[in-house]
Structure 1
């Protein structure tokens, strides 16, 4: 069975800034495998890094989430590889939070090469989707993310303030 990865490109423009993040990097020698292209595990590392950068940018890094009493842990990754990345390639890694409900959150990722001569939108290297499950950081048991998490990432409106 082939799992469908949401099209991060379609989602990208329609999502608020709080639901999306991107980072640019250059492929280094440490990213390569014996075939002289980026190792498949490196793509996953890049996806996790852009997700962490996104959370940190919004003040929702691991420490803040631990203090709030719920942290995300990966339940499932689905990656579809399209083309290899090679030494010196400039890569854009985008993530878009596509779902946040109950104890689950889902992120879509798009990894594109942006070398001179490539089309302006880049050349698609890979797409990924990760399902995250929120858990209590002490017990490891599933737990709903606090409302402030959904609010911070743009899924829920802020709670109304009581009248003064």
Structure 2
């Protein structure tokens, strides 16, 4: 399945708090590549980090999900890079859980530089979308997310 990256800003405003999360990171020397900007893999690590923090905020960290019998594993990441982040930049990383049905969940991410002097809302650095598949932690086989997981992330219906 080829994923289309949605407009994360529109999604952000329309979603309940349980379906979105954000954090700000500061670019460190270890985040840089040989071109002196943030390495591509770091953007993906930040996306995964904000998703984990979102789950933890809702009481749905890995231990809790394992106890419920289903954990998410990444199936596909799509990242579009717009401009580089540099040493010392403040980067706001947002995630929005956009789809949750059966064994699949999809998250959209927006990464914006939010340094002093940047425009209100920041400067878009990258967008990402990840398709997650829910699996049984024992067998590794696909499994529907349990009802408490759906409810915690705001998918009650």
Q: Say whether the fold is shared (TM-score over 0.5).
A: yes
Distance 1:136 1:4 in 2: 27
Following superposition, the deviation at residue 121 of structure 1 comes to 0.7
- The structure whose Rg is larger is 1
Distance 1:5 1:89 in 2: 24
Distance 2:140 2:87 in 1: 39
Distance 1:117 1:140 in 2: 47
Specify the alignment match of 1:26 in structure 2. Answer: 26
CA contact (8 A) 2:3 2:129 kept: no
Asked whether 1:95 is paired with 2:95, we answer yes
Distance 2:150 2:68 in 1: 12
> What TM-score, normalized to structure 2?
0.97
Report the CA distance shift for 1:141/1:3 in structure 2 as closer, same or farther (over 3 A): closer
Following superposition, the deviation at residue 12 of structure 1 comes to 0.4
Would you identify which runs of 4 or more consecutive aligned residues in structure 1 move more than 2 Å? none
Distance 2:125 2:51 in 1: 18
Distance 2:3 2:76 in 1: 11
Specify the alignment match of 2:132 in structure 1. Answer: 132
Following superposition, the deviation at residue 4 of structure 1 comes to 2.2
| Equivalent pairs, count | 156
Specify the alignment match of 2:151 in structure 1. Answer: 151
Specify the alignment match of 1:114 in structure 2. Answer: 114
Alignment RMSD (CA, Å)? 0.9
Unaligned runs of 5+ in 1: 158-164
Following superposition, the deviation at residue 3 of structure 1 comes to 4.7
**Does 148-157 or 95-104 show the bigger shift?**
148-157
> What TM-score, normalized to structure 1?
0.93
Unaligned runs of 5+ in 2: none
Map Cα deviations across residues 3-41 of structure 1 (whole Å, 9 max, x no partner). Answer: 520111001011000000000011000100000000000
Report the CA distance shift for 1:134/1:24 in structure 2 as closer, same or farther (over 3 A): same
Specify the alignment match of 2:53 in structure 1. Answer: 53
